[in-house]
């Protein structure tokens, strides 16, 4: 039985705040802080410690592979999800008849902007719209994906409303029509059990600063092993080479693994932090984390229903991620009111976002909902604001 109360004590901020902001930036674990301090100690004692730094990068690769249920050779460690997307885009040919990139209207801006940036290279970007209920049903993808589609780029959990797409269904549609699938799992991995083999995606991107408990400035790109040698990115660098220490300026000799999608010197201090965060995720276990998160988000949805304040996040377990989004009037002011009570959340699209992780508790959820209930007259979207008297 996982002792979540003991795990909770490893995040010092939780002694002072109700921290429900993992969808923006995770709470800092004691082991991650210690890892960052270890980097500083190494710098002061050794200076340039290249062998250790390269080993840290490889440790992050192995741990990321374990979290995603992939092989280490299928993982590139990147500066961000954007860096991974740009490297992948540079390896794809849009000059032939398969030049369409299908993206959903649930995407994070960069996940669509990068594909629009390929339009001068021949890419045609097609958006899959929401329906009248704000959802994106599978039939919308069926209409958008055709034999001219090169890539389908979809988010697993929408950063705006916490809804999950039917990734398995989208993959089946895309593969049946000869298209590749890129999964943006940034708002899922670490909070859900993301198995790239079970999902059957061809590529996946994410980063370490949210549910993977690391820090900003480091991310990953998964590339299905069978596709690696078919793709040669023009977005490259010395850490993408077969031998990073060859110092050969006569040619580009990309690594035979997904490392060919990397670029320059890795973010060394971020590798220390990411390694520690990933170790904690693997210690707890992604399936145990998903079950814990599912229970907490369900409690939140039921409590919101109890105060008559509906969430825009789907109630079905299979349709939501680790985030509950609550529509609000004057959401920015409500955010400030919650922060004044040491309840840390975020705002997108006039929705208050509560990003839940395994370190959260029933009490965190109850305190958040009670604070909303106290603000109902001012911020509930269905309650008219009082008109000031003359």
CA distances, 27 to each of 20, 30, 213 (Å): 9, 10, 7
The rounded Cα 204 to chain-centroid distance in angstroms is: 10
Beta-bridge mates of residue 254: 241
**Structure confidence at residue 133 (pLDDT):** 87
* Angstrom distance (rounded) from CA 54 to CA 239: 10
**Structure confidence at residue 92 (pLDDT):** 98
**Structure confidence at residue 224 (pLDDT):** 98
Q: Are 281 and 335 in contact (CB under 8 A)?
A: no
**Structure confidence at residue 48 (pLDDT):** 87
Residue-wise DSSP of 49-79:
-HHHHHHHHHHHHHHHHHHHT--GGGEEEES
**Structure confidence at residue 289 (pLDDT):** 98
* Of 358, 327, 356, the residue nearest 344 (C-alpha): 356
Residue 140: CA count within 13 A, CB half-sphere: 19
Beta-bridge mates of residue 76: 221
* Of 41, 323, 369, 124, the residue nearest 210 (C-alpha): 323
Q: Supply φ then ψ for residue 253, to 5 degrees.
A: -120, 85
Token output for 380? 């509930």
Asked if CATH classification 3.40.50.720 holds for the domain at 4-23+285-379, the reply, yes or no, is no
Token output for 78? 């990147």
CA distances, 362 to each of 305, 307, 372 (Å): 16, 16, 16
First to last CA, the chain: 61
Q: What global pTM score does this model have?
A: 0.95
Domains 4-23+285-379 and 31-283 agree in fold: no
**Structure confidence at residue 68 (pLDDT):** 98
**Structure confidence at residue 386 (pLDDT):** 40
Q: Supply φ then ψ for residue 204, to 5 degrees.
A: -150, 140
Q: Where are the domains of the chain?
A: 4-23+285-379, 31-283
* Angstrom distance (rounded) from CA 82 to CA 80: 5
**Structure confidence at residue 389 (pLDDT):** 32
* Of 324, 339, 19, 303, the residue nearest 160 (C-alpha): 324
Q: What angle do CA 37, 31, 1 make, to 5 degrees?
A: 175
pLDDT in tens, 283-330: 999 999 999 999 999 999 999 999 999 999 999 999 999 999 999 999
**Structure confidence at residue 383 (pLDDT):** 62
Token output for 197? 């083999």
In 3-state terms, what secondary structure has residue 355? strand
Architecture of domain 31-283: 3-Layer(aba) Sandwich (3.40)
Low-confidence ranges of the chain (pLDDT < 70): 383-390
């Amino acid at each position: 039985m996982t002792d979540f109360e003991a795990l909770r004590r490893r995040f010092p901020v939780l002694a002072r705040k109700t921290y429900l902001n993992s969808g923006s930036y995770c709470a800092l674990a004691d082991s991650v802080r210690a890892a960052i301090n270890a980097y500083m100690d190494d710098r002061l004692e050794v200076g340039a410690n290249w062998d250790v730094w390269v080993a840290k990068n490889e440790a992050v690769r192995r741990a990321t592979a374990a979290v995603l249920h992939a092989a280490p050779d299928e993982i590139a460690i990147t500066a961000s999800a954007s860096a991974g997307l740009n490297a992948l885009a540079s390896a794809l040919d849009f000059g032939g008849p398969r030049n369409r990139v299908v993206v959903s209207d649930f995407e994070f801006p960069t996940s669509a902007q990068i594909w629009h940036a390929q339009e001068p290279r021949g890419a045609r970007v097609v958006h899959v719209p929401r329906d009248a209920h704000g959802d994106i049903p599978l039939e919308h993808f069926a209409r958008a994906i055709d034999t001219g589609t090169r890539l389908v780029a979809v988010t697993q959990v929408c950063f705006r409303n916490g809804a999950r797409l039917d990734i398995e269904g989208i993959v089946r549609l895309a593969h049946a029509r000869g298209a590749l699938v890129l999964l943006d799992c940034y708002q899922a991995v670490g909070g859900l059990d993301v198995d790239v083999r079970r999902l059957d995606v061809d590529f996946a991107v994410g980063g370490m600063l949210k549910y993977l408990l690391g820090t900003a400035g480091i991310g990953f790109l998964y590339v299905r092993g069978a596709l690696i040698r078919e793709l040669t990115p023009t977005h490259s660098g010395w850490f993408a080479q077969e031998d990073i220490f060859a110092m050969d300026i006569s040619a580009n000799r990309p690594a035979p693994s997904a490392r060919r999608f990397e670029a320059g010197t890795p973010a060394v201090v971020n590798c220390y932090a990411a390694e520690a965060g990933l170790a904690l995720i693997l210690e707890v276990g992604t399936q145990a984390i998903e079950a814990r998160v599912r229970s907490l988000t369900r409690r939140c949805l039921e409590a919101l229903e109890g105060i008559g304040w509906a969430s825009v996040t789907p109630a079905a377990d299979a349709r939501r991620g680790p985030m509950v989004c609550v529509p609000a009037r004057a959401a920015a002011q409500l955010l400030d009111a919650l922060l004044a009570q040491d309840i840390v959340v975020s705002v997108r699209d006039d929705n208050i976002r509560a990003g839940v992780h395994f370190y959260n508790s029933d009490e965190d959820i109850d305190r958040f909902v009670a604070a909303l209930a106290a603000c109902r007259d001012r911020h509930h979207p269905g309650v008219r604001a009082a008109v000031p008297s003359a």
